[in-house]
Structure 1
Amino acid sequence: MPEQPSPEPTPETFAQRARRARDRAGLTRPVAGGLVGRSAEWVKGVENGTIGMPRLPMLIRLATMYECDIADLTGDDRIAAATYTKAAHAELPAIKRALTTYWLVPADREPESAEVLAARVRQAWTLWHAAGDHRSRIAALLPDLLADTQHSVRALGGPDRRRALVVQAQAYHLAQLFLSFQPVPDLIMLTGDRSMTAAQDADSPRAIAGAAWYMNHVHRDANEAAEARVELAEQASALLRQDNDDDLARWGLLQLAVALSYAKTGRAGDAWRYWDRANDAARRLGDGYAHPWLIFGQGIVDGYAITMYNDLMQPGKALDVALALDLDQVPSATRRSYHLVETARAHGMQDEGVAAVALLQKAFRESPETLRYNVYTRMVLPELAKTGPRMVRADARTLAQELGVAV
Structure 2
Amino acid sequence: MDELPIGRRVAYWRGRRKMSQQVFADRLGKSKSWVDKIERGVRRLDKFSVLYEIADILQLDVQLLLGKDPDRRSDALNCIDQLEVDQIRAALERYDALSAYFDAAPYPPMLSDMRKAVNHAWLTYQYGRYGMLTRALPKLLRDAQAADAAYGADDQSREAAHLLGQVYQIASSVLRKLGDSELAWLAADRAMAVSQRADDQLLAGIATTRVGNALLAMGRARSALELNLRIANRLAPGGGNDASPERLSVYGLLLLQAAMAAARTGDSATVDDLLDGAQEAAHRLGGDHNHYWTCFGPTNLKLHRAAAAVELGDGGRAVETHLAIDPPSFNGLLPERRAHHMLDIARGFAQIGDVSAAGEMLVRGDRLAPSEIRCRPIAHEVMSDILRRTRGAPSAPIAELAEHMGVGI
**TM-aligned CA deviation for residue 234 of structure 1:** 2.4
CA distance in 2, matches of 1:293, 1:128: 10
Are residues 1:95 and 2:91 paired? no
**Superposition map of 1:107-118 within 5 A:** 107-118=104-115
Residue type of the alignment partner of 1:214? R
Matched to 1:120, the amino acid is A
Structure 1 residues 327 and 165, CA gap change in structure 2 (3 angstroms): farther
Give 1:298's aligned amino acid: P
- Aligned equivalent of 1:164: 160
Q: CA 1:92/1:263 → structure 2, altered by over 3 Å: closer, same or farther?
A: same
Q: CA deviation at 1:147?
A: 0.9
Task: Give the 3-state SS of the residue equivalent to 2:295 in structure 1.
Answer: coil
CA offsets 1:83-104 (integer angstroms, 9 cap, x no match): xxxx853633332332234566
The structural deviation recorded for 1:108 is 4.9
Q: TM-score, normalized by length of structure 2?
A: 0.72
Q: Deviations over 1:188-226 (max 9, x none)?
A: 221111111111222210111110111111111222142
Match of 1:332 in 2: 334
Q: Tell me the secondary structure at the aligned position of residue 243 of structure 2.
A: coil
Q: Say whether residues 1:229 and 2:225 are aligned partners.
A: yes
Residue type at the aligned position of 2:121: A
The 8 Å contact of residues 290 and 331 in structure 1, kept in 2 or not, is answered as: no
Query: Is the alpha carbon distance of 1:217 and 1:328 closer, same or farther for their aligned partners in structure 2, counting shifts above 3 Å?
Result: farther
CA contact (8 A) 1:128 1:334 kept: yes
Structure 1 gaps, min length 5: 1-86
Which stretch of the first structure deviates more once superposed, 291-300 or 146-155?
Answer: 291-300
Residue 158 (structure 1) shift: 4.7
SS of structure 2 residue aligned to 1:390 = coil
Alignment match, 1:297 = 297
**Structure 1 pair 402/314, CA: closer, same or farther in 2 (3 Å)?**
same
Report Cα offsets for 1:294-318 as digits up to 9, x if no partner: 2111121110111111122221111
* Whole-angstrom distance in 2 between the partners of 1:191 and 1:361: 31
Partner-residue secondary structure (3-state), 1:238:
helix
Cα distance in 2 for partners of 1:312, 1:145 equals 38
1:146-295 paired onto structure 2 within 5 Å:
146-156=141-151, 157-227=153-223, 229-239=225-235, 241-291=241-291, 293-295=293-295
Does residue 398 of structure 2 align to residue 402 of structure 1? Answer: no
Report the CA distance between 1:386 and its aligned residue.
4.0
CA distance in 2, matches of 1:233, 1:116: 36
User: Taking structure 1 as reference, are residues 242 and 262 closer, same or farther at Cα in structure 2, changes over 3 Å only?
Assistant: farther
Q: Is the 8 A contact 2:91 2:142 kept in 1?
A: yes
Indicate if the aligned counterparts of 1:384 and 1:393 stay in contact, CA closer than 8 A. Answer: no
> Which SS does the other structure have where 1:287 is aligned?
coil
Unaligned runs of 5+ in 2: 1-78
- Please report how far the alpha carbon of residue 185 of structure 1 lies from its aligned counterpart in structure 2 after TM superposition: 3.3
Q: CA deviation at 1:339?
A: 0.3
The number of aligned residues is: 319
Per mean C-alpha deviation after superposition, the further-off stretch among 386-395 and 238-247 is: 386-395
For residues 183 and 344 of structure 1, the distance between their equivalents in structure 2, rounded to whole angstroms, comes to 19
Q: Partner amino acid for 1:98?
A: A
CA RMSD of aligned residues (A): 2.4
CA gap 1:181/1:120 in 2 versus in 1, 3 angstroms: closer
Which residues in structure 2 correspond to 1:65-76 (within 5 Å)?
none
In structure 2, the CA distance between the partners of 1:107 and 1:176, relative to structure 1 (3 Å rule), is same
Match of 1:316 in 2: 316
Distance 2:393 2:402 in 1: 16
| Identity rate, percent | 25
Once the two structures are superposed, residues 339-381 of structure 1 have per-residue CA deviations (whole angstroms, 9 ceiling, x without a partner) of 0111111110011011111111000111111112333321132
User: In 1, Cα distance between the equivalents of 2:180 and 2:258?
Assistant: 25
- The AA in structure 1 aligned to 2:117 is R
- Offset at 1:387? 3.4
The answer on whether the counterparts of 1:282 and 1:301 sit within 8 Å (CA) in structure 2 is yes
| 2:369 aligned to which of 354, 367, 370 | 367
| More displaced 10-residue stretch of structure 1: 206-215 or 218-227 | 218-227
TM-score by length of 1: 0.72
Q: For residue 393 of structure 1, report the CA deviation from its aligned partner.
A: 5.3
Q: Equivalents in 2 of 1:228, 1:341: separation in Å?
A: 22
**Secondary structure in 2 aligned to 1:405?**
coil
